[in-house]
């Protein structure tokens, strides 16, 4: 099985590049986008296994991007990153996992691994609850 393809969307370009390096080192294939619309284009044009999405972005925030993705391909899991502690409840419900920025790469990789695990291995809710 080839390594999963992760789509990373964040307007913080240096942070995005660093996160891409971390994920690549963990063995993922990574696509990056610096804003929501670009991310959606990549999402539609590529076989994406998971999405690491920043919430707080100009113009189109993570909530709006996640909503579109869910509508188009509800099977693709989404990990929502945020610098906020208090995210809107409807946004939290829409995604699979949330992660507070700054929690560290080990946490990110762990949550991503669990999120991408086939449904037979574990229930989705068990992972989502950790947010």
Residues in contact with another protein by CB under 8 A are 11-12, 14-15, 18-19, 21-22, 25, 56-59, 61, 81, 83-85, 100-106, 108
Instruction: Name the minimum Å distance from CB 21 to another protein.
Output: 6
Instruction: Name the minimum Å distance from CB 117 to another protein.
Output: 21
Contacts of residue 11, Cβ cutoff 8 Å, sequence gap at least 6: 34, 35, 54, 57, 58
Instruction: Name the minimum Å distance from CB 102 to another protein.
Output: 4
- Closest to another protein by CB, 56 vs 124, is 56
C-alpha 89/C-alpha 109 separation (Å) is 24
């Amino acid at each position: 099985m080839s390594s999963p393809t992760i789509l990373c969307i964040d307007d913080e370009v240096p942070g995005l590049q660093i996160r891409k390096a971390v994920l690549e080192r963990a063995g993922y294939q990574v696509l990056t986008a610096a804003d929501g619309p670009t991310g959606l284009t990549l999402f539609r044009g590529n076989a994406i296994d998971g999405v690491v999405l920043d919430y707080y972005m100009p113009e189109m925030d993570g909530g709006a991007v996640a909503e579109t993705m869910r509508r188009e391909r509800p099977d693709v899991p989404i990990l929502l990153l945020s610098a906020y502690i208090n995210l809107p409840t409807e946004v939290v419900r829409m995604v699979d996992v949330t992660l507070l920025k700054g929690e560290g790469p080990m946490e990110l990789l762990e949550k991503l691994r669990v999120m991408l695990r086939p449904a037979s291995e574990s229930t989705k809710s068990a992972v989502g609850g950790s947010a």
